[in-house]
A and B are shown apart, each in its own frame.
Chain A
Amino acid sequence: MDLGDLSTVLVVGATTAYAIGFVAFAIDLAHLADRVGRPAARRVHDASVAAASVVGGARAAGGARAAGGDILVEAPADVVPRRKAVGIAMATTTLGLAFHGVGLLLRGLAAGRVPWANMYEFTAVGTFVAVATFLVLTRWRDVRFLGTIVVGLVVVALGLALTVFYVAAEGVQPALQSYWLVIHVFIATTATGLLTVSFAASALQLLKDSREQGMARSARPDADADAARPSRLAGPRWRALDALPAPRELEALSFRITAVGFVLWTFTVMAGAIWAEHAWGRYWGWDPKEVWSFVVWVVYAAYLHARTTAGWSGRRAAWFVLVGYATVIANFTLVNLFFSGLHAYSGL
């Protein structure tokens, strides 16, 4: 077994660990939802504080966390049962990340170059960044609820990478041998990892928001008109959403990550243009990959606009993040696999 094979084994191991982590995150979310319903956590209504509180903004108030116009005051640790599942989830995910990192390192050593030069490798690096971003965020804020979506997406992506995109470790064609490859592709992949996390936050924001609106509707005395179409999200099956922060906080979280992702994407497009200038003698040629990178950029620019446009912030802006992420994924899959162009390096 050579280094390349060992690397693959490690990535398979990482995928397995993430899969376990995903299940544990899902269980944790279900338990959390149960706990929200029980009196172990006391809910205090304080609209004036909540209105001004932001993600992390309440850090000075010991243990208090803003949640949907309510302040969720967590009882001391000996009263609240420990979140066992999330401990397991975090541990396996961290272990998976370690495997993943070593796997990437070995892949680079086996190929004698940076390990991001074909679709298998892009996916491997992008998912690594997504998980790493998520784990770093958890140190700064309790965003472990994002684990289900982020780690779930990562498992799917790595599964695809290992089965469909896989190619053995090899050197690349001369057109890719450039430090611009290292910079451009690495930043692009990192941005994709970040945008995956912000996608998760915005998706949860929309779900949570729908649930809150649905519940508010059915709680209204004059609810008969709406009661004909009760929102499914308001039902008990989506109770897990109650454990999440308020939509407004999710939106703020998503915005922060998207902002970083957008700056990195801007850089990606520019570095790509410089690379194209070096390699192909033109900085921009509307190659399918360039078209879609442009589309991704414009959609996220539109998102940043939407946030500051009256009537477009909140829910509507969150849809832009979803659309933006769809274009990121299309750029990565459809364009690499089905459209011909100079960027033909899927390795397939």
Chain B
Amino acid sequence: MPQDRVDEMALEEATTPTLPQLGAVGALRWVWRQLTSMRVALMLLMLLAVVAVPGSVLPQRPQDPADVATYLADNPGLGVWLDRLGLFDVYASVWFSAVYLLLFVSLIGCIVPRIALHGRALRARPPRAPRRFDRFGVRDQAVVEAPATEVVAVATRALAGPLRALPRFRVDTGLEDSGALTLSAERGYLRESGNIVFHLALVGLLVAIATGQMLHYRGQAIVVEGRGFANAVTDYDTFVGGTAFAPGSLVPFTVGLDRFTAEFTAEARPVDFAAEVTVREPGGQARPAVIRVNHPLSVGGVKVYLQGNGYAPDVVVRDAAGEVAFAGAVPFLPQDAVYTSRGVIKVPDVSTGDQIGIVGFLLPTAVVTPAGAASVHPQPDAPLLVLTVWRGDLGLDTGVPQNVYELDVTGMEQVVGADGTPTTIVVEPGQTVDLPGGLGTLTWQGTPRFVALDLRHDPALGAILGFALAVLAGLTVSLFTPRRRIWLRLTENDGRTVVDSAALARGDDLGLAGELERVMDAIRARPGEDRSGDGPR
């Protein structure tokens, strides 16, 4: 079969499956040889593709813990087993890690010997001209009116190309017993160099990613217009660091949110979000900056992403005694595309009576119908707060950390009207309304916006990018560098030189005939040339 083209590399491969020798060392050596064989590398690559798939089908804990919980609740029997097998965290599972680690061990075991071989090949001379050229598919003959030495000079120039430091072909000359001069030329060493760079860069990429995983930290923070954020673990709403993360690596900068603007189409499709901020780095001047969805802010080794936004109604709550019990902007989290936003106002510091919890919705552009109120657009064109009130013990003193966006109603009781249904209060901006049950009043002073910022520090990003580019470069060089050999044999006869030539490529090579033609044309383009040569075949 003509397809069974066997490469030099593959040839040594063919001899691999020998029986294990006796003894532990022999067995180990046998395992190692298997592991670093092309066949096993191929299997491991296919296996890697297969084991990656379940993670796209089943919900994954790092991405979607809530979905995993739902799945487990829906499939109690199967779910437990899938969980035991690590199928809800595929990419950190033992078996996924085993496959890629084995693959990389195989890669190193495969590539390191090749580096040595390649180093030797780089210093070796091109192989000698074969005795007979007629077994080559691409060959040519020319007869020129010039001494052989002169032809060799011309051919060498044509083969080496204009760059002395990086010759196109490496050229070597020889003298045969018959007196014929030969010229051997080889190009394409870069192919193997590229291949080695590619594989080594893959290793580098993996190491860089792992290093980044260990040293990184990331966290979220919600910042209301007019307020700021300081880069300290305590100022984050949520925070995670890698296994080797040190709190000292947090650069104490601050980011103040001056203004946030959002633009939507009439159909509530978001068009643009922009957070105008003032950044202050330790020992530096305050500087203005804008954070957009695809344009994070870089500060103190951290990238700050705009991850979400919403409204934080600024309210004042007075208790039954008329004392200010609460004042401040409370972020309400958008629940849908028209920013129907849910929030909780907790008022523990009342001077008399029960603590107060206020729960409800902010409707940016409210339309009120007999059926109820709803928002129709995310911009605050006709904002309305629709709230219900709870009284009792907020449970803040128990020492258990609470979610600020949820009201724990275990110690509380909802304020209801005469008919027993919860009393709803509706507030417009600037209004002060009485809280039901004589609990006090609420004033809605304004509606600043808030942004949800995602802050992330990964010191390995530069290295990751560098290795990725090396992967790409090595791959491109390796795949598109032709590997060719050209041989010339020059026989002098009556002051004329007969030039026989042959060319060989590794694998299938479109440009091989053209390459030989180019060299032979250079040889022929001499005074007294003979054009009867029949061109490469």
Residues of chain B within 8 A of A313, CB atoms compared: 3-6, 10
Residues of chain B within 8 A of A273, CB atoms compared: 468
Q: Tell me if A267 is interfacial: C-beta within 8 Å of chain B.
A: yes
A213-256 contacts to B (CB < 8 Å): 246-248, 251-252, 255-256
Residues of chain B within 8 A of A302, CB atoms compared: 42, 45-46, 49
Q: How far is the CA of A69 from the CA of B1 in the complex (A)?
A: 10
- Within the complex, the shortest CB–CB distance from A53 to chain B, in Å, comes to 6
Known: A61-B537, A309-B10, A310-B10. A278 touches B55 (CB 8 A): no
Q: How far is the CA of A287 from the CA of B3 in the complex (A)?
A: 39
Instruction: Out of B3, B49, B508, name the residue touching A315 (CB < 8 Å).
Output: B3
Whether the pair A299, B56 counts as a contact (CB closer than 8 A) is no
Instruction: Out of B3, B91, B136, B479, name the residue touching A286 (CB < 8 Å).
Output: B91
A21-75 contacts to B (CB < 8 Å): 48-61, 69
Q: Tell me if B272 is interfacial: C-beta within 8 Å of chain A.
A: yes
Q: Tell me if A156 is interfacial: C-beta within 8 Å of chain B.
A: no
Whether the pair B56, A309 counts as a contact (CB closer than 8 A) is no
CB<8 Å pairs between A and B, sample of 23? A51-B137, A53-B137, A56-B510, A59-B513, A171-B269, A171-B271, A175-B294, A248-B3, A251-B508, A259-B479, A275-B294, A278-B295, A279-B293, A281-B307, A281-B456, A282-B456, A286-B62, A286-B91, A298-B45, A302-B45, A305-B42, A308-B10, A310-B14
Q: How far is the CA of A61 from the CA of B476 in the complex (A)?
A: 31
Q: Tell me if B464 is interfacial: C-beta within 8 Å of chain A.
A: yes
- Within the complex, the shortest CB–CB distance from B54 to chain A, in Å, comes to 9
Known: A69-B2, A263-B472, A313-B5. A301 touches B45 (CB 8 A): yes
Known: A177-B272, A284-B209. 5 other contacts (CB 8 A): A52-B138, A53-B137, A263-B472, A279-B293, A305-B41
Q: Tell me if B475 is interfacial: C-beta within 8 Å of chain A.
A: yes
Residues of chain A within 8 A of B496, CB atoms compared: none
Q: How far is the CA of A263 from the CA of B9 in the complex (A)?
A: 23
Instruction: Out of B57, B294, B505, name the residue touching A174 (CB < 8 Å).
Output: B294
Residues of chain A within 8 A of B135, CB atoms compared: 48
Residues of chain A within 8 A of B138, CB atoms compared: 52, 57
Whether the pair B42, A309 counts as a contact (CB closer than 8 A) is yes
- Within the complex, the shortest CB–CB distance from A205 to chain B, in Å, comes to 9
Residues of chain B within 8 A of A96, CB atoms compared: none
- Within the complex, the shortest CB–CB distance from B535 to chain A, in Å, comes to 5
Whether the pair B475, A263 counts as a contact (CB closer than 8 A) is yes
Q: How far is the CA of A52 from the CA of B5 in the complex (A)?
A: 11
Q: Tell me if A165 is interfacial: C-beta within 8 Å of chain B.
A: no
Whether the pair B63, A314 counts as a contact (CB closer than 8 A) is no
Q: Which 4 A-B pairs have the closest CB atoms?
A: A52-B137, A314-B3, A252-B508, A291-B56
Residues of chain B within 8 A of A50, CB atoms compared: 2
A residues contacting B by CB (< 8 A) are 48-61, 69, 170-171, 173-175, 177-178, 180, 209, 246-248, 251-252, 255-256, 259, 262-263, 266-267, 270, 273-275, 277-288, 291-292, 294-295, 298-299, 301-302, 304-306, 308-315, 327, 335, 339
- Within the complex, the shortest CB–CB distance from B471 to chain A, in Å, comes to 7
Known: A49-B537, A171-B269, A281-B454. A314 touches B55 (CB 8 A): no
Q: How far is the CA of A177 from the CA of B273 in the complex (A)?
A: 11
Q: How far is the CA of A327 from the CA of B38 in the complex (A)?
A: 23
Q: How far is the CA of A295 from the CA of B62 in the complex (A)?
A: 20
Q: Closest residue to B453 on the A side, CB-wise?
A: A281
Q: How far is the CA of A61 from the CA of B45 in the complex (A)?
A: 42
Instruction: Out of B52, B62, B294, name the residue touching A180 (CB < 8 Å).
Output: B294
Whether the pair B537, A60 counts as a contact (CB closer than 8 A) is yes
Interface range on chain B (Cβ under 8 Å from partner): 35 or more
- Within the complex, the shortest CB–CB distance from B337 to chain A, in Å, comes to 10
Residues of chain B within 8 A of A255, CB atoms compared: 508
Q: Closest residue to A259 on the B side, CB-wise?
A: B479
Tally inter-chain residue pairs, CB-CB below 8 A: 178
Instruction: Out of B38, B476, B535, name the residue touching A305 (CB < 8 Å).
Output: B38
Q: Tell me if B225 is interfacial: C-beta within 8 Å of chain A.
A: no
Q: Tell me if B296 is interfacial: C-beta within 8 Å of chain A.
A: yes
Q: Chain B 98-140 against A: per-residue CB contact (8 Å), 1 yes, 0 no? A: 0000000000000000000000000000000000000111100
Known: A57-B138, A273-B468, A305-B41. A174 touches B292 (CB 8 A): yes
Residues of chain B within 8 A of A262, CB atoms compared: 475, 479
Whether the pair A312, B39 counts as a contact (CB closer than 8 A) is yes
Q: How far is the CA of A312 from the CA of B537 in the complex (A)?
A: 30
Q: Tell me if B60 is interfacial: C-beta within 8 Å of chain A.
A: yes
Known: A281-B456, A295-B52, A315-B3. A286 touches B13 (CB 8 A): no
Residues of chain A within 8 A of B265, CB atoms compared: 171
Residues of chain B within 8 A of A288, CB atoms compared: 56
Q: How far is the CA of A256 from the CA of B52 in the complex (A)?
A: 27
Whether the pair A174, B272 counts as a contact (CB closer than 8 A) is yes
Known: A281-B303, A287-B63. A57 touches B56 (CB 8 A): no
Q: How far is the CA of A287 from the CA of B91 in the complex (A)?
A: 11
Q: Tell me if B256 is interfacial: C-beta within 8 Å of chain A.
A: no
Q: Closest residue to B135 on the A side, CB-wise?
A: A48
Q: How far is the CA of A50 from the CA of B468 in the complex (A)?
A: 40
Instruction: Out of B55, B209, B536, name the residue touching A60 (CB < 8 Å).
Output: B536
Q: Closest residue to B512 on the A side, CB-wise?
A: A57
Whether the pair B293, A175 counts as a contact (CB closer than 8 A) is yes
Q: Tell me if B270 is interfacial: C-beta within 8 Å of chain A.
A: yes
Q: Tell me if B153 is interfacial: C-beta within 8 Å of chain A.
A: no
Whether the pair B57, A339 counts as a contact (CB closer than 8 A) is yes
Instruction: Out of A178, A259, A327, name the residue touching B294 (CB < 8 Å).
Output: A178
Residues of chain A within 8 A of B273, CB atoms compared: 174
Whether the pair A283, B461 counts as a contact (CB closer than 8 A) is yes
Q: Tell me if B11 is interfacial: C-beta within 8 Å of chain A.
A: yes
The listed residue with most B CB atoms (<10 A of its CB), out of A171, A273, A277, A339, is A277
Q: Tell me if B480 is interfacial: C-beta within 8 Å of chain A.
A: yes
Whether the pair B468, A60 counts as a contact (CB closer than 8 A) is no
Q: Chain B 31-46 against A: per-residue CB contact (8 Å), 1 yes, 0 no? A: 0000000110110011
- Within the complex, the shortest CB–CB distance from A335 to chain B, in Å, comes to 7
Q: Tell me if B509 is interfacial: C-beta within 8 Å of chain A.
A: yes
